[in-house]
Structure 1
Amino acid sequence: MFTIGDFAQYGRVSARMLRHYDAIGLLRPARTDPVSGYRFYEAAQLARLNRIIALKDLGFSLQQVRAILAEEVSVPELRGMLRLRRAELEAALTAAGARLAQVEARLRTIESEGRMSADDVVVKRTETVLLAELSGRAASYGPEDIGPVIQPLYDELCRLLETAGVTPAGPGLAYYEDAPVPAAAKTGGALAPPGEATPNPPAHTAPGGDAVLVHAGMVITHEALAKAGVTVDRASGRPGTPSAAPVPTGLGFDVVMLPALDCAATVVHRGPMSRILPTAQNLAHWIDANGYRSAGYARELYLECPPDQEDWVTEIQEPVVRA
């Protein structure tokens, strides 16, 4: 048998903790000297101690641990709990990292206010491009909501293009639209007093909510599509019709002829998109200061996307008109 000190050493816990476990009936000593009150433990009790510590580290309270041990949890069951807890901790770590990135972006925005040079912004016309794309819905236009939606879309789009044998002819290009309002939302509450028109929403606010449609696209050619068995109307981007709306190809992705922007204020952002906020807000300051106003969501042209996101180069293309 072991003294409480020796047992604590073997179990890598404190004697104080063992006394507490004894007091709440979680791990009783094998024997307690009736005269001195000294506690003695057996080596076999290390198995129960290990389970107690493992369950505690999984986030269970001591009351829960006692209830679980009463059911005699097996090693495979403990391993299953460990896998579940690991997944929860990884998700929490990812979420915490994303929040930290957003805090850092806000701080960068504050630090860089008013520092953008007029030379950093170029007002120009963009070209009409043929895109292969996948679309998804994000809860808002914020980077914290766009990121988890757009990255899987691009991963899947690249896979589908490779499977179809369609080689991209240019960089990725993402664009955004107001998300449609569900029918229930349209009728569930008054947006304006009876007889009055609902005011037009701001350029970056989806009607009836903050959700946006995310379009993750890759520049392709008509020739590459033709080799994959898809014929596209060169004037519209839609097979056989005059519409420019995204159209399924039968290959798992859509195609669209994305119209040119007649007037776009553009600026280059360097680094991960999670830190785009300072660049976007500095561009907004420039637009306001130079007699323009926004005419819609900005497009993102991904000029360079190496494995290290710190080396990413993205052109932000904000459609503008004279104020």
Structure 2
Amino acid sequence: MFSIGDFARLGRVSVRMLRHYDSIGLLRPAAVDPHSGYRYYTAEQLRRLNRVIALKELGLTLAQVQAILDDAVDVAELRGMLRLRRSQLEAQLAADTARLAGIEARLRMIETEGRMTTQDVVLKPIAPVRLAELSATAPSYQTEDIGPVIQPLYPELFRRLEAAGIRPSGPGIAWYAPAGEPGGEAVVVHAGVTVDVDPDPAAGVAVVDLPAVPAAATVIHHGPMDEAEQSMQVLARWIEENGYRADGFAREVYLDYCPDAPEKGVTELQLPVRHG
């Protein structure tokens, strides 16, 4: 048998924790010296300790842990519970990572305010264009909602075009439209690329004609699209200074599409405008 100190080291827990588990009846020592009161444990008891720690990591209270263990949860059930918790933690980590990236992007935008001026904005008409595209709905137009929706669309779009033998004739263009009820935040994300073909249902992609835009405030954005807010705010200042009003969502024309190195990307933002 092992002393409480040795058992704590073997189980990678504290002596204080083992004493607490003993006091509440969750993990009793195998033997207690009647004269010294020293607690002793067996190697077999590491199995129960492992289950206690694992169930605690699932977010259960010690009372719930004890009830589960006393009902003899088998290895398969415990494994399933742990896998579910792992999936939950992975999803939470992904969400926190995305949130951190958004904070860092916003901080960089604040730190670089003023470096890009409205002199970089060009007002011009936009010609009609034919696109092959795939679409999906995002819960909002926020960067953190758009990114996860649009990112898988382009690889799948290019895969389908290659399978259908369709070659792009120009740059990729993403455009957006409201989804659902008027006034709602959801948007339909259209991931397209310029083509010169007729619609063909067998190709597995939609072929649409985007209409001409009489006037659009445009600016060239350098870098990843999750940092495009600064360029959009430059457009906002230009629109206000020149007496225009925004007229819908901006189109994103990927002049240099770099999926493996988004920091090298070059994108023209085209925001339709009209006189206020």
* Identical residues among aligned pairs (%): 61
Three-state SS of the structure 2 residue aligned to 1:135 is strand
Residue matched to 2:156:
156
Give a deviation string over 1:263-310, Cα, whole Å, max 9, x none: 211112222222222221122112211232212210011222320222
Residue matched to 1:5:
5
> In 2, Cα distance between the equivalents of 1:163 and 1:258?
24
Three-state SS of the structure 2 residue aligned to 1:105 is helix
Q: 1:275 aligns with which of 202, 227, 231?
A: 227
> In 2, Cα distance between the equivalents of 1:25 and 1:155?
56
Q: Is the 8 A contact 1:137 1:214 kept in 2?
A: yes
Residue matched to 1:84:
84
Q: Is the 8 A contact 1:175 1:215 kept in 2?
A: yes
- Structure holding more strand per residue: 2
Residue matched to 2:275:
322
Three-state SS of the structure 2 residue aligned to 1:90 is helix
Q: Is the 8 A contact 2:170 2:193 kept in 1?
A: yes
- The CA RMSD measured in Å over matched residues stands at 2.0
Q: Map of 1:87-236 to 2, 5 A cutoff?
A: 87-181=87-181, 207-222=182-197, 232=198
> In 2, Cα distance between the equivalents of 1:128 and 1:288?
26
Quote how far apart the aligned CAs of 1:254 are.
0.7
Task: Could you tell me which runs of 5 or more consecutive residues in structure 2 were left unpaired when the two chains were aligned.
Answer: none
Quote how far apart the aligned CAs of 1:174 are.
0.7
Give a deviation string over 1:168-225, Cα, whole Å, max 9, x none: 22222111112242xxxxxxxxxxxxxxxxxxxxxxxxx2322222211111222xxx
Three-state SS of the structure 2 residue aligned to 1:125 is strand
- Equivalent pairs counted in the alignment come to 275
Letter in 1 for 2:238: W
Three-state SS of the structure 1 residue aligned to 2:151 is helix
TM-score by length of 1: 0.78
TM-score by length of 2: 0.90
Quote how far apart the aligned CAs of 1:260 are.
2.5
**Larger RCO: Structure 1 or Structure 2 (Cα < 8 Å, ≥ 6 residues apart)?**
1
Residue matched to 1:312:
265
Residue matched to 1:74:
74
Three-state SS of the structure 2 residue aligned to 1:21 is helix
Quote how far apart the aligned CAs of 1:114 are.
4.2
Q: Is the 8 A contact 2:150 2:191 kept in 1?
A: yes
